[in-house]
Chain A
Amino acid sequence: AQSVTQLGSHVSVSEGALVLLRCNYSSSVPPYLFWYVQYPNQGLQLLLKYTSAATLVKGINGFEAEFKKSETSFHLTKPSAHMSDAAEYFCAVSDNQAGTALIFGKGTTLSVSS
């Protein structure tokens, strides 16, 4: 059975600092991995996804994530945080790229201070 663990329920950074949000997965088959973002008072939207085409995946708003099979990780990064990045971020895993099979992590809230 798949599972996903997001390390750190809350991450705080200063504007301009590196953003690193951690996600580790457990899957018995090659996984499909996703990051979703939820801005305040909104639903979730897809940030980026890994589907085996490339280990480094670029998403919207300058975010990227790297799939590391040896570490079973899919950490999300952004070189320079912006105030508008403050949101909740969810990592999700699926074993078949189907939306019906997505398993979400518990989420990480990112705070950005000026």
Chain B
Amino acid sequence: DVKVTQSSRYLVKRTGEKVFLECVQDMDHENMFWYRQDPGLGLRLIYFSYDVKMKEKGDIPEGYSVSREKKERFSLILESASTNQTSMYLCASSFSGAQDTGELFFGEGSRLTVL
């Protein structure tokens, strides 16, 4: 089975802190994604990466950055956390090219609270 692991299920941080959310997948997927999930707003794409060191902005990249130094790991970084970044963060991965069927494999989510 594909496994996407998000290192922290629950985090509480203070305004202005730097926050790292880590995600690891074990299926050798080329594509990795970070989404933000808020009630009534569904899933919004923050960033995705289609290869090591490659990244593309999604719909709401402001206030976030990402890092992909290894194929299996994709990190989301909040340089200076703010209260409006309190949310559920979902990591996902998928194949690319001819193997891409549109199916994303999701982690269980990281619920971040910024005080």
**Contact between A43 and B100, CB atoms less than 8 A apart:** no
**Contact between B42 and A100, CB atoms less than 8 A apart:** no
B1-43 with Cβ < 8 A to chain A: 4, 31, 33, 40-43
Which of A13-21, A70-78, A103-111 touches B?
A103-111
Q: Which residues of B contact A84 (CB under 8 A)?
A: none
Q: Tell me, in angstroms, the Cα distance from A32 to B41 when the chains sit together.
A: 21
B residues with CB within 8 A of A: 4, 31, 33, 40-43, 48, 50, 56, 90, 92, 94-96, 100-104, 106-109
Q: Other than A43-B108, A100-B94, give 17 A-B pairs with Cβ distance below 8 A.
A: A34-B102, A36-B104, A43-B4, A43-B106, A43-B107, A43-B109, A44-B104, A46-B104, A49-B102, A51-B101, A97-B102, A98-B102, A99-B95, A99-B96, A100-B33, A100-B48, A100-B50
**Contact between A42 and B108, CB atoms less than 8 A apart:** yes
**Contact between A49 and B101, CB atoms less than 8 A apart:** yes
Q: Which residues of A contact B95 (CB under 8 A)?
A: 99
Residue of B43, B96, B108 most packed against chain A (CB within 10 A): B43
**Contact between B42 and A44, CB atoms less than 8 A apart:** no
Classify chain A: how many residues form its interface, as a range: 20 to 34
A residues with CB within 8 A of B: 9, 32, 34, 36, 41-46, 49, 51, 90, 94, 97-100, 102, 104-107
